[in-house]
Amino acid sequence: MTRPALIATVFIVVAGIAAITTVVLVRGESSAAPQMSEEQRETREKFFGTGKALPPIEKGQEMRPKW
């Protein structure tokens, strides 16, 4: 086996191992996240707001910020 062919084979093997490792790690992270505690949920709602829809805009109410 020539030297360039050996180097190419090593690179292909390393790339394959890296791809398999990436897939395994990504699958491990995408598993279901643990449920949030009540305190965590309240903090999240306080910081980001609730998931409820915003109230409708009243007639004449402006959408631009009041600078």
CA distance linking residue 53 with residue 67, whole number of Å: 25
Whether residue 17 has pLDDT greater than 70: yes
Q: Can you give the pLDDT at residue 67?
A: 65
Q: Can you give the pLDDT at residue 12?
A: 97
Q: What is the token pair recorded at 28?
A: 């491990």
pLDDT in tens, 34-65: 788 889 888 888 888 776 777 777 777 767 76
Q: Can you give the pLDDT at residue 47?
A: 85
Rg of the chain's alpha carbons, rounded to an integer? 27
